Amino acid sequence: MPDRIRYRRIGEVLLEKGIIAKEQLNRALEHQKHTKKPLGEILVELGFVTWEELTEALAEQYNLPMLKDFPRSIPAEVLNSLPRALIEELRIIPIDKRDDQLVLVTDSVFNLSRIRGEVKFITGKEPLIYLVTPSLFALMYKQHVQGGIAELAQQIPVAEEVEPEVLTIEETEELEAEPEAPIIKMVNALIQKAVQMEASDIHIEPFRNYVRVRYRIDGLLRKIIDYPKAQHGAVVTRIKILSGLDISEKRLPQDGKFYMSIHGEQYDFRVSTMPSVHGEKVVMRILRVSAAYKQLEELGFSEYNYKLISQLLMRPNGIILVTGPTGSGKSTTLVAMINKLKDITVNIVTAEDPVEYTIDGVTQCQVNPEIGLTFARFLRSFLRQDPDIIMIGEMRDKETANLAVEAALTGHLVLSTLHTNSAAAAVDRLVNLGVDRHLLSTALVGVVSQRLVRKLCENCRVKAQLRPEYLQMWKEVFPELDPVEYTVGPGCAECNGMGYKGRVAVGEVLVLDREIKDVIVAGGSEREIYDLALRKGMRPMFIDGFEKVLRGITSFEEVLRVTTSI
C-alpha cells in the first residue's frame, strides 16, 4: 500500500499544530479537486504555510527527522554509493555512512517504501532518511551532485586558443584513446574544481591506504575528495610533467610552475612536491593572472585606513611596511600599492621571492639565493638603476634591512613586508635585525598591519540574535548601540555551504610622527609605541574588524579568529 495511507493526513497535522485554520484547509481541498496537485504544495501556493512549516509537518507525519543545515562536504565514496540515475529518479542524496546505515536526504515523501527497499538492496545498509525543504534539496543537488568531481571529469570544456607556453584544459578523441587519459582527466577536474570554488591552494596528501585532496578556500583548508592510493603515482607524474619537474626524482623536494587557461581566464600554478613516508605530497598555489591589476580600494580597508595608506604613498621617500603572518594578504597589498604608484614618470623596481604577479610597467626581479641573487644583492644593484620606488618582497636579514634604510635615506620610497603580529611590533623586529634606532626612526614613515577575514556570503546572510558569549564584547566595542542582532551566514550553494565567500582586509595603520619617532630613539617598547599611536588616532585592528561585523561584512567568529587586543 502507498506510504501516505499509513500516516495521519497532512491537513490534520497542520491543523493540530495551529499552522492553518479549518477554512484554509477546506479552501485548499477545494482547489485540489481542480489541480490534482499535492495538498501541501497547494497550501504553500495559497500562502497559508511556508515550505519550512510544511516540511516540518511532513517530517512529523511520516516520523522522519528533518535536516535544516547545509552539509559543508559529502565524501565522494558516499555520493558514489548509489547510481546517479537512482539519485535523480527517487530525489535522494546520500550524505553519510554509519556502520550499517546509509544516511540520505529527500524532499519527497511519496517514494519512502521504494527508497528503503532499493537502497537496502543496492548497498546492504539500512537507509536513515532525513527530510529537507525543496530549496535545500536543490542547493545540495547543485553543489554536491551536479557540481561533483566525477561530473567535472566528464565535462571539462575546451579552452580557447592561447599562446603556446600556456597549457589548456581540453579533451580530444585522441587523448581519450591514451591509457593515461583517465588520470589526465582527473587532474584537470581537480584543477578546474579548485578554480570554480575559488581556492588559493590544492593539497594532495598521501596516507597509508588512500590519498586526500583538500582545497584552501578563503584561508581555511576543506576536504574535497579521497582517491585510491594506487592512482597517486600517476597523478604526481602528471603534475610533474605539467610543471616541468623531474618525474624520476622522488627523494627530494621540487618546485615548478605552469600556466593554464580555464574559461578564458589565465592562471599561474606554483607547484611544490615533498617526499613523505607514504609518498610525495603535492601543493599547488593558484594565482589568477588578473589579480595583478588589483587596486588598493578593492581590498576592503576601511575608509579611514584607506586615507592613511594613500597619504603614506604620497611620501617622496621613506620606508612603508606591510606586516602580518603568512597568508594575510601582504603581497596582494604590495601589488595594489604599486598599481596606485606606477606612472610613466617614475621608475619602479622590485625584488621578489617568488614573483607572484606580473605587473605591467614595472621591472620585477626574481630572487635566486643559489646563484647569489639575494634581496641585498638586488638592492645594491637597484641603487645604480636610478629608481624612484623600490619594492622588496621581505626584509629577512640585517643586510637587507640596513640597505633598505639606506635607500630610504637617500631619497627613495621603499615598500616591503615583515612577519609581525601588530604595526607597533615592526619597530622591535627591525631593531632585532640590527637596524640602528636613530636611522630607523628617520627612515620609517608608516606600517600597515593586516589580516584577512572571510566575508559573509551576500546570497544567504541573514540577521540573527547575538550569542550570549558576544554580548559583553559588543557592549565594550559598541557601548552606544543596542546589541539586538547581528549578521550570520547559514550557507548555500553560492558559497559552497560555508556561509562565507571571499575575504576582506582588516588592519591598523601606524603613521610615524615626530613624537613616535622620539619614543623609538629612546628605546620605547612595543606597548609604549602602540599606546602612543592610539592616542594619535590609530584604530586597532580588532576594532576595525568589529566595525565590519557591525556593517554585516563579516562575523564575530572571524574577527576573533584572526585578531587579538595587544
Sheet holding 254-262, edge to edge: 167-168, 254-262, 265-276, 279-288, 201-206, 210-217, 220-228
Q: Is 478 helix (H, G, I), strand (E, B) or coil?
A: coil
Give the whole-angstrom CA distance, residue 417 versus residue 307: 20
**Least confident stretch, 64-78, 107-121, 138-152, 191-205:** 138-152
Spatial contact of 342 and 359, defined as CB atoms under 8 Å apart: yes
Segment 227-249, tens digit of pLDDT: 888 889 999 999 999 999 999 99
Spatial contact of 501 and 555, defined as CB atoms under 8 Å apart: no
Give the whole-angstrom CA distance, residue 272 versus residue 116: 47
Residue 437 pLDDT > 70: yes
For residue 338, report the phi and psi dihedrals to the nearest 5 degrees: -60, -40
Task: Check residue 463 and give its pLDDT.
Answer: 82
- As a whole number of Å, the CA-based R_g of the chain is 29
Find the helix or strand (DSSP H, E) in which 212 lies: strand 210-217
Amino acid in position 289:
V
Please report how the helices 425-433 and 526-535 are oriented relative to each other, as an axis angle in degrees rounded to 10: 140
**Per-residue confidence at 565, pLDDT binned at 50, 70, 90?**
low
**Least confident stretch, 72-76, 111-115, 343-347, 415-419:** 72-76
Task: Give the CA-trace dihedral at 495, 501, 465, 43, to 10 degrees.
Answer: -30
**Least confident stretch, 23-27, 150-154, 203-207, 310-314:** 150-154
Find the helix or strand (DSSP H, E) in which 418 lies: strand 413-418
Spatial contact of 356 and 287, defined as CB atoms under 8 Å apart: yes
- Average pLDDT (209-225) is 89
> Looking at residue 143, what DSSP letter applies?
I
Higher pLDDT, 183 or 163: 183
- Average pLDDT (448-471) is 85
Task: Check residue 78 and give its pLDDT.
Answer: 83
Amino acid in position 536:
K
Segment 307-358, tens digit of pLDDT: 999 999 999 999 999 999 988 999 999 999 999 999 999 999 999 988 888 8
Q: Is 501 helix (H, G, I), strand (E, B) or coil?
A: strand
C-alpha cell at 436: 640602528
Residue 257 pLDDT > 80: yes
- Average pLDDT (376-402) is 93
Write the DSSP assignment of 237-297 as a string of letters.
HHHHHHHT--TT--SS-EEEEEEEEETTEEEEEEEEEEEETTEEEEEEEEEEGGGGG--GG
Q: Report the b/e string of 132-158 with b at 16+ CB within 10 A.
A: bbeebbebbbebbbeebbeebbeebee
Mean pLDDT score across all residues of the chain: 86
Q: Is 491 helix (H, G, I), strand (E, B) or coil?
A: coil
Q: Find, among 320, 301, 304, the residue nearest to 453 by Cα.
A: 301
- Looking at CATH, the fold of the domain delimited by 182-290 is given as Beta-Lactamase (3.30.450)
Task: Check residue 146 and give its pLDDT.
Answer: 67
Spatial contact of 449 and 420, defined as CB atoms under 8 Å apart: yes
Task: Check residue 222 and give its pLDDT.
Answer: 87
Q: CA 469 → CA 29, 62, 466, 500, 544, distances in Å?
A: 48, 38, 8, 21, 20
> Looking at residue 160, what DSSP letter applies?
P
- Average pLDDT (153-173) is 41
Residue 470 pLDDT > 90: no
Residue 542 pLDDT > 70: yes
Neighbour-count burial of 51, counting CB atoms closer than 10 A to its CB (0-12 exposed, 13-18 middle, 19+ buried): middle
Select the CATH number that applies to the domain covering 294-454+503-538 from these four: 3.50.50.60, 3.30.560.10, 3.40.50.300, 3.30.565.10.
3.40.50.300
Residue 523 pLDDT > 80: yes
Residue 108 pLDDT > 50: yes
Task: Check residue 149 and give its pLDDT.
Answer: 53
Higher pLDDT, 147 or 345: 345
> Looking at residue 412, what DSSP letter applies?
-
E-strand ranges in 126-209 read 126-131, 167-168, 201-206
Residue 132 pLDDT > 50: yes
Task: Check residue 160 and give its pLDDT.
Answer: 37
Task: Check residue 281 and give its pLDDT.
Answer: 97
Amino acid in position 364:
Q
> Looking at residue 35, what DSSP letter applies?
H
Beta strand pairing call for 444-456 and 348-352:
unpaired
Higher pLDDT, 303 or 17: 303
Amino acid in position 344:
I
Q: Report the percent of the chain where pLDDT is more than 90.
A: 48
Q: What residues does each domain of the chain span?
A: 1-63, 182-290, 294-454+503-538
Peptide bond into 387 cis (omega under 30): no
Q: Find, among 562, 548, 542, 561, the residue nearest to 487 by Cα.
A: 548
Task: Check residue 44 and give its pLDDT.
Answer: 85
Residue 147 pLDDT > 80: no
Highest mean pLDDT out of 217-226, 309-318, 374-383: 309-318
Residue 13 pLDDT > 80: yes
How many other CB atoms are found less than 10 A from the CB of residue 349?
A: 22
Give the whole-angstrom CA distance, residue 532 versus residue 272: 44
Amino acid in position 493:
A
Give the whole-angstrom CA distance, residue 253 versus residue 307: 44
Spatial contact of 261 and 252, defined as CB atoms under 8 Å apart: no
- Average pLDDT (396-419) is 94
Segment 61-74, tens digit of pLDDT: 888 998 877 776 77
Segment 476-500, tens digit of pLDDT: 777 777 666 678 887 777 787 788 9
Segment 268-292, tens digit of pLDDT: 999 999 999 999 999 999 998 887 7
Beta strand pairing call for 126-131 and 101-106:
parallel
First to last CA, the chain: 68
Q: Is 178 helix (H, G, I), strand (E, B) or coil?
A: coil
Q: Find, among 452, 466, 458, the residue nearest to 499 by Cα.
A: 458
